Structure 1
Amino acid sequence: MRADRAEVSWDADKRKWVVRIQVGEEVIRRSCDVPKDAMESTIRSAAQEAINHEGYEADAMPMTIHR
């Protein structure tokens, strides 16, 4: 299955990156244990892993990272 889009942002309260996976009207939130100052490629890789873990393909989907 393919998700429509994903957004990754830093959650200051939890001190973790949060991945918002949107599939139609449904939004799934998952956190990633990556340091706040990690490179964008590392954050993107961790987000793709979380998306794949949920059973979605992350290859062609648009992903936005908010620092």
Structure 2
Amino acid sequence: MVGRAAPARTRRITAQTILLVFQLAHAVRRKIKNRVETLALGGQHPRRRIHTDAAPNHWAAGHLPVA
């Protein structure tokens, strides 16, 4: 049985790796596209960068919420 399990495990690992590669490639393409959109082209002023920072996490800073 060990002989049959090895190819199946290899296929699963390969499929997961390929999925991860596609996800990372998509994220990188999106990041590059967003960065290119902020560049100044043709003598124009650069566009403001869109900040997608989340609201500050007061728990991480050690603050307790006021009830």
Q: TM-score per shorter chain, which class?
A: under 0.3
* TM-score (structure 1 length as normaliser): 0.25
Q: Which has the larger radius of gyration?
A: 2
